[in-house]
Amino acid sequence: MSPDLDLPLLAALFGQALLLSLLAIGGAITVAPDLHRVMVAQQAWLDDAQFGHAIAIAQAAPGPNLLFIPVLGYQVAGLPGALAMLVGILIPSTTLALAALRLGQTHARHPALRAFKAGMAPITLGLMLATGFVLAPWGSAPGLLLAGAVALLVWRTRVHLLLLIAAGALLGVLGWV
């Protein structure tokens, strides 16, 4: 990126992250398919390999799962791009989370709140399946089957997520997915 700030580009990165922040139910990784659509397919800011590598690098690094968002911004527009996307993804979701926490603590037993929580589970699973579809190599039936099996386990059982992550890591190390 040149020393001159590309304000329209930074505004576009910020706006995209701001918009997707409210859809990041289940974690920031659930917006990866839409980010891919915009950043790779529509705008051609990145190619498939760059997009996949950004997610892989960010997920391998210690820290929050949303690290891939500023990594994508950095690849497009350097440090200003990383900051634009990080602030964009954090502002709405943090504000909404704090408001929901306060409301949830006040009305924990209200039937509408309980129904809302129950209704969000399938949406989260669908977003995670879409992410698995985007990140799995094309033609990788084992990867897609694994994503579906894990989503089903999360939805229908109380298997601890760390066990599922460890199992996925083991299958990856063994080269099965």
121-147 pLDDT per residue, tens: 888 878 877 877 777 765 567 767 777
- Spatial CA neighbour of 168 closest among 177, 155, 156: 177
pLDDT in tens, 81-128: 999 999 999 998 789 889 988 988 898 889 988 898 888 888 887 887
Q: How confident is the model at residue 13 (pLDDT cuts 50, 70, 90)?
A: very high
Residue listed under structure tokens 């915009």? 38
pTM over 0.75: no
**pLDDT confidence of residue 148:** 77
Mind listing the pLDDT tens digit for each residue in 147-156?
778 878 888 8
The residue type found at 6 is: D
What was the pLDDT predicted at 130?
80
Q: Mark out the alpha helices in 30-176 (DSSP H runs).
A: 32-36, 48-60, 68-106, 111-135, 141-156, 161-173
Largest CA distance in the chain: 55
